[in-house]
Amino acid sequence: MSADRPTPRRTPTGAAVLRPELTESIAEAVLDELAEHGYGRLSMDAVARRAGVGKSALYRRWPSKQDMVVDVVSRLSVPLADVPDTGSLRDDLLATLRAVLDWLDHPRFRSVLPDLLAEAVRTPALADALAKHVGEPRRLRGAALLDRGVARGDVRADLDREVVLDLIAAPLYWRLRGRHVPVTPDYLENLADALVSMVSAAPPGASREGDGAS
Amino acid sequence: MSADRPTPRRTPTGAAVLRPELTESIAEAVLDELAEHGYGRLSMDAVARRAGVGKSALYRRWPSKQDMVVDVVSRLSVPLADVPDTGSLRDDLLATLRAVLDWLDHPRFRSVLPDLLAEAVRTPALADALAKHVGEPRRLRGAALLDRGVARGDVRADLDREVVLDLIAAPLYWRLRGRHVPVTPDYLENLADALVSMVSAAPPGASREGDGAS
């Protein structure tokens, strides 16, 4: 798992050892500052003050605000994408959907992702860093779910995986942070059913039966 | 179509007539200010200056910044959701997906929606107004597409429409404004195919064939 986290670009100077519990306190301060003020107005000073450390403790860990924020968001986000192999396509999908919901509704994270994504429209380097350290590691876990289904014979091998993987996280994000309507347990069940009927291995041609014109 | 637009809450005083071409110029100024500065930093003064009008021209039209922004975004967004009835489920879906793409990639609008949605996490009144004047009128058009399919016998009548309608706009928003990766013509075709296989009327039970555990 740690291979998915951003590699610090600056090696700690000399023999300095980074205390993990201090990194954890700083990470909590970063998330709280992000939630309260957003990425644009977040300052290294405020994070240091909130964590009760000097700014040097921050710069020993991350060379810049962007690296700090992306690493902290990655440390929160990537482990939340780990779901067990249940042996069933529908149960794997449902577990993954619940994990996405836990991520998006994480109390420290609710407003953080929309802020970061809005900022990323204007800041391509931030968009790239979020994709590399948050999006891609999370997506690998979704791809593994599909691989297991193909291996079991449950999942069509000819799927456009870009489409299917988008359809797992996208509706929950759109609903919670775009439309601002709740995701109920029934909704998750019905979404899992819809995804199962989309990806299930079925006799060729059967899935487009109703469509006469294309 | 005009029934979907927000009704101005303040009636023009006296015999004042609101010139439509002036409303149009102000709307362009609002979008340009939103794109440059975001919702939080948008001021009525800056909009008036940019449009070359007095602030009274704004307040004659909208009682507040929020009403102004939501109305302007509604006027841009709702007409872009109108797609013709092609008579085919797949072609209707594809036309709708292209219309969503045109909306999200509209040059004046690219960064506007992510900003507004980030702000809406903190401002429930803004979230409600966007839902009422942008989300719901657009969604009615998607629902009409499904109604036509059910009437033709192409679309399963037992669908959870909340799920299906989310799956039309959500993947494009997630891809463009969440993951920051392009939507190619192939992607749109494959997404249309995936949605067709999800919603198509098919023999009962056929769609869950591969799923032994649920």
DSSP conformation class of A203: S
Q: Indicate whether B19 belongs to any domain.
A: no
**pLDDT digits 0-9 by tens, A153-189:** 999 999 899 999 999 999 999 999 999 999 999 999 9
Q: Indicate whether A7 belongs to any domain.
A: no
The H-assigned helical ranges of chain A are 20-37, 44-51, 55-61, 65-77, 89-104, 112-122, 124-130, 136-152, 161-173, 185-199
ipTM, two decimals, is 0.85
Of the candidates A87, A90, A166, the beta carbon closest to that of B171 is on A166
**pLDDT digits 0-9 by tens, A9-38:** 555 555 467 899 999 999 999 999 999 998
Alpha-carbon distances of B83 from A57, B80, B105, B203, rounded to whole Å: 56, 8, 17, 30
**Chain B interface test: which of A89, A105, A109, A166 (most B C-beta within 10 Å):** A166
For residue A151, the chain B residues in CB contact (below 8 A) are none
**pLDDT digits 0-9 by tens, B112-168:** 999 999 999 989 999 999 999 999 999 999 999 999 999 999 999 998 999 999 999
Of the candidates B178, B200, B208, the beta carbon closest to that of A211 is on B200
The pLDDT value recorded for residue B134 is 96
The pLDDT value recorded for residue A8 is 54
Judge whether residue A210 has pLDDT over 80.
no
The pLDDT value recorded for residue A10 is 54
Q: How many domains in chain B?
A: 1
Q: Indicate whether A123 belongs to any domain.
A: yes
| 8 A C-beta contact, residue B32 and residue B11 | no
| Separation between Cα atoms, residue B44 and residue B7, nearest integer Å | 20
Please count the other Cβ atoms lying within 10 Å of the Cβ belonging to residue A66: 16
Give the residue on B whose Cα is nearest the Cα of A139: B179
Q: Which are the contacts of A57, defined by CB distance < 8 A and separation ≥ 6?
A: A22, A26, A48, A51
Residues of chain B below pLDDT 50:
1-3, 15, 203-214
Residue A207 or A91, more confident? A91
* B200·A177 Cβ contact <8 A: no
Q: Indicate whether A67 belongs to any domain.
A: no
Of the candidates B87, B111, B211, the beta carbon closest to that of A121 is on B111
CATH number at residue A91: 1.10.357.10
Judge whether residue A41 has pLDDT over 60.
yes
Tell me the residues of chain A between 108 and 167 that have a Cβ less than 8 Å away from chain B.
Answer: 110-111, 114-115, 117-118, 120-122, 124, 127-128, 130-131, 135, 149, 153-155, 159-160, 162-164, 166-167
Q: Tell me the count of A-B CB pairs closer than 8 A.
A: 204
| 8 A C-beta contact, residue B83 and residue B143 | no
How much of chain B exceeds pLDDT 70, in percent? 86
Q: Indicate whether A23 belongs to any domain.
A: no
Partner B contacted by A181 (CB < 8 A)? yes
The pLDDT value recorded for residue A108 is 84
Q: Indicate whether B44 belongs to any domain.
A: no
Tokens, residue B197: 């296989």
Residue whose C-alpha is closest to residue A2's, from A16, A22, A23: A23
Residue with tokens 């109920």: A184
DSSP for B114-170, written as a single string? HHHHHHHHH-HHHHHHHIIIIIHHHHHHHHHHHHHHHHHT-B-TT--HHHHHHHHHH
Residue B93 belongs to domain spanning? 76-200
Alpha-carbon distances of A29 from A65, A68, A69, A73, B186, rounded to whole Å: 13, 11, 11, 12, 43
| 8 A C-beta contact, residue A92 and residue A83 | yes
Partner A contacted by B35 (CB < 8 A)? no
Q: Indicate whether B25 belongs to any domain.
A: no
Q: Indicate whether A62 belongs to any domain.
A: no
